[in-house]
């Protein structure tokens, strides 16, 4: 009894499924004769019932296979339709001056072309030919832009405004440039005025310094003239050479030639070559002291030339035997510009001046005692030669 109920339940479910799926039911029309509905189903024996159950299970399996096949075909159809729908199509149309610029994008492919027409039907027909879309489909997705005369006028107006703005900008720039140039001219004038004022100040100061210098030089010249006048006066009276008890019985003449170097006294420590020649005559000659008169000479230091105007010298013997003499020369010299200055040279001789004969005596110029006042310190060596006597 339970088996009959189970079989009846399964048959009922199968029938309901077939009714809900007409296509499957029609395919199984040939197999329906294996079923028998009604009272004879319940009249079958248990063996027949079991046979029927096996047959029912086989039919159910066939039905399920057919249903699954139909569902797979339906899914493939839907996927194809979805794939078709997934294709992205973009259409842009821009109409201007009787021409249509058309851009068609299908997925990643893009096509652009131009039609010499602004008629909408002709444009749609061209797009339809390339895409296969209907007019309705095209109008649903296309982006249509039509450049009207008003828009052209707007562009012209915008261009005119842009030109006006550019003109205004150039005008402002020109005004600023002129202002800048005017300011630069003003500044340049102020600078020139200040420079002129400073130049005038410097000129005034320079004139003042020149006047002060001239005054000092005049005072110095006056002092020099007074000193020179005094020296000349002493030279004429003989007082310049000091007391001379008696003149030497025989006047001897000597020539002093020397060379070496000279260094500046102003602190720059500039060193240049030096050479000179001095002429002397004896005034007094004794055992320990001999006096000389400088009769002339010259001195060259670097590129400067000095003349010896007049002067005097004194030789003293040193040592217990009096075998070494030192000779001190003082002379008034003038440079190329006529400036008067004092020359002082201290010589160290290797033998007595009195003993000088046919052979010259070697002498050494001692430094820092030897110098031209305020300018040079002298050093070197030379020879003292007897020329007459």
pLDDT for position 319: 53
Residue range 46-63, pLDDT digits in tens: 444 445 445 454 434 444
Q: What are the CA-CA distances from residue 158 to residues 94, 120, 133, 165 (Å)? A: 21, 29, 39, 10
What lies within 8 Å, CB to CB, of 21 at 6+ separation is: 67, 70
What lies within 8 Å, CB to CB, of 316 at 6+ separation is: 288, 289, 325, 326, 328
**Mean pLDDT, the chain, whole residue set:** 76
pTM over 0.75: no
Q: What are the CA-CA distances from residue 40 to residues 36, 37, 53, 342 (Å)? A: 7, 7, 15, 172
Confidence of residue 29 (pLDDT cuts 50, 70, 90): very low
Confidence of residue 15 (pLDDT cuts 50, 70, 90): low
pLDDT for position 69: 53
pLDDT for position 40: 40
Confidence of residue 98 (pLDDT cuts 50, 70, 90): confident
Pairwise CA distance, residues 324 & 371, whole Å? 23
Percent of the chain with pLDDT over 90: 21
pLDDT for position 59: 38
Higher pLDDT, 12 or 27: 12
229 has a pLDDT exceeding 80: no
What element of type H or E holds 189? helix 149-237
Picking from 278, 234, 279, 237, the residue whose alpha carbon sits closest to that of residue 259 is 278
Query: Taking residues 66-78, what's their average pLDDT?
Result: 55
């Amino acid at each position: 009894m339970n088996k009959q109920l189970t079989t009846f339940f399964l048959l009922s479910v199968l029938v309901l499924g077939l009714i809900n799926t007409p296509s499957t039911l029609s395919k199984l029309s040939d197999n329906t004769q294996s079923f028998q509905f009604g009272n004879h189903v319940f009249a079958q024996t248990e063996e027949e019932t079991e046979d029927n159950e096996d047959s029912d299970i086989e039919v159910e399996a066939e039905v399920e296979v057919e249903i699954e096949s139909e569902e797979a075909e339906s899914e493939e159809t839907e996927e194809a339709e979805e794939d078709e729908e997934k294709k992205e199509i973009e259409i842009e149309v821009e109409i201007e001056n009787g021409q249509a610029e058309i851009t068609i994008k299908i997925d990643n492919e893009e096509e652009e072309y131009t039609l010499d027409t602004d008629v909408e039907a002709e444009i749609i027909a061209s797009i339809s030919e390339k895409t296969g879309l209907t007019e309705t489909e095209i109008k649903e997705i296309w982006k249509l832009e039509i450049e009207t005369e008003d828009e052209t006028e707007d562009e012209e107006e915008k261009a005119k405004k842009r030109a006006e703005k550019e003109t205004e900008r150039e005008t402002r720039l020109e005004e600023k440039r002129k202002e800048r140039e005017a300011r630069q001219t003003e500044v340049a004038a102020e600078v020139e005025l200040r420079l002129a004022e400073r130049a005038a100040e410097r000129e005034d100061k320079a004139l003042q310094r020149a006047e002060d210098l001239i005054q000092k030089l005049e005072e110095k010249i006056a002092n020099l003239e007074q000193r020179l006048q005094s020296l000349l006066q002493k030279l004429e009276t003989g007082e310049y050479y000091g007391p001379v008890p008696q003149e030497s019985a025989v006047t001897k003449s000597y020539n002093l030639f020397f060379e070496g170097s000279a260094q500046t006294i102003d602190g720059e420590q500039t060193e240049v070559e030096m050479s000179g020649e001095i002429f002397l005559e004896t005034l007094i000659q004794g055992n320990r002291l001999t006096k000389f008169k400088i009769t002339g000479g010259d001195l060259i230091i670097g590129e400067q030339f000095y003349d010896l105007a007049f002067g005097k010298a004194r030789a003293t013997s040193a040592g217990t035997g009096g075998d070494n003499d030192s000779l001190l020369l003082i002379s008034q010299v003038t440079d190329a510009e006529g400036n008067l200055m004092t020359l002082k040279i201290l010589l160290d001789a290797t033998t007595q001046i009195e003993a000088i004969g046919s052979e010259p005596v070697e002498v050494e110029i001692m430094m820092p005692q030897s110098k031209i006042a305020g300018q040079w310190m002298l050093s070197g060596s030379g020879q003292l030669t007897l020329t007459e006597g």
